[in-house]
Amino acid sequence: MNHSKRHGEIMRLLREEGTITIASLADRLDVSLETVRRDIKPLTDSGVVLKMHGAIGLPSMTGEAPFERRMRENADAKRAIARMVAATIRDGESVMLDTGTTTSFLARELLKRRRLTVVTNSSDVARTLATVNGNRVHMAGGELRSDSGAAFGVAAIEFISRFNVDHAVISAGAVDASTGIMDHDLAEAEFARMVLTRGRRSLVVTDHTKFGRRGLVQVCGFSGIAELATDQPPPPDIAAALRSAGTRLVVAQSDNLAGGRPAPVQAAMAASEE
C-alpha cells in the first residue's frame, strides 16, 4: 500500500471510529510506527486530523468518549453474542467480566437474571448490575482509565485473584490464528489473562471484525480458553486453530441479518463434534 492509499485508509478508519491510536494504525496498515507518524503529519498539520496523546481523531468526533463510540460499532452483532451467552448463565451463579463493549452488552442482558455474584473491573458493568435483582457486585480497585472507566494495575489483578467463579468472560481486541487472543494494551491483557484463570468456564466474546487482527500483547493461546463466542464463523485458519486447541466455537446470528426479527442462536462447530 503506497503513501496516498494509506492516507485514504487512515481517513476511512477515522470516519468509522472517530479516533484511533497510532499503534493500532501501524498494526492495521502493516507498517512501522515511524511510517504512520510520517503519514499523519500532513493531515495533522493541515488540521484535517487532530493529534492527541498516542492517537489521532476527527475534529467533529473527538468530543465523544471512545467507549461510547465503540458501543455503537457493530452493536447488533455484540448484542446477539451477549444474548446467546446470557442464555447459558443461570440465576444465582457467579460471573467475572473484564471491560469491553461486548461484555458491557452482556451485562445488560444479565439484567434478566437474579441473585448473580459479579466480579469486574468495569465501572459500566458494575453500574449496570449493582443494586438490582438481588445481585452482589465486587468492583476491582486500581487506576481508573478515563476512556473506559475501568480499573487496571497490580491492585486490580490481586483483587480478582481471590475469587473463583462459574463463568469467566473476557472481550478480545484481536484474534490471530497463530497467536490466539490478543489485546492492544499491556495492562488490559494482563487483567484479562488473570480473569480466564478464575472461572470454572472460560469464555472469550468477540465480534467478527477482530478476526485476523494482531494486537500488541498476547492474552493467551486458544488452548487457554474453553469457548469463543462470536457473530460470524471465523476464517478457515482461525477455525482450524480453534479445533486443534479443543476450543468450542459458538456463533450467534445478529438481529439485522434476521431481518429485524429476534435472532436465533446458532451453536456451531463444537470441537468435539468435528
| Chain center to CA of 148 | 12
pLDDT (0 to 100) of residue 270: 38
pLDDT (0 to 100) of residue 72: 66
> Closest Cα partner for 26 from 10, 14, 42, 45?
10
Q: Identify how many contiguous H helices and E strands the chain contains and give both numbers.
A: 10, 16
Task: Give the single-character DSSP code of 177.
Answer: T
Full set of structural domains in the chain with CATH: 3-63 (1.10.10.10), 71-273 (3.40.50.1360)
Percent of the chain as helix, strand, coil, to the nearest 5: 40, 25, 35
Strand order in the sheet with 217-220: 174-176, 180-183, 217-220
Cell 494495575 locates to 153
SS3 of 107-134: the string is HHHHHHCCCCEEEECEHHHHHHHCCCCC
pLDDT (0 to 100) of residue 256: 42
pLDDT (0 to 100) of residue 16: 74
> Closest Cα partner for 229 from 214, 210, 244, 215?
210
Would you call 103 helix, strand, or coil by DSSP? Answer: helix
Q: Can you tell me the distance from the alpha carbon of 270 to that of 248, in angstroms, rounded to the nearest whole number? A: 5
SS3 of 3-24: the string is HHHHHHHHHHHHHHHCEEEHHH
pLDDT (0 to 100) of residue 64: 47
DSSP line for 37-53? HHHHHHHHHTTSSEEET
Burial of 245 (0-12, 13-18, 19+ CB in 10 A): middle
Containing 166, the helix (H) or strand (E) segment is strand 165-171
- From first to last of the 274 residues of the chain, give the pLDDT tens digit: 556 688 888 988 888 777 788 888 888 888 998 999 999 988 887 778 887 767 887 766 544 456 666 666 778 899 999 999 999 999 999 999 999 899 999 999 999 999 999 999 999 999 999 989 999 999 999 888 766 788 999 999 999 999 999 999 999 989 999 999 999 889 999 999 999 999 999 999 999 989 998 888 999 999 999 999 999 999 999 999 999 999 999 999 755 444 333 333 344 443 333 3
> Closest Cα partner for 202 from 175, 176, 170?
170
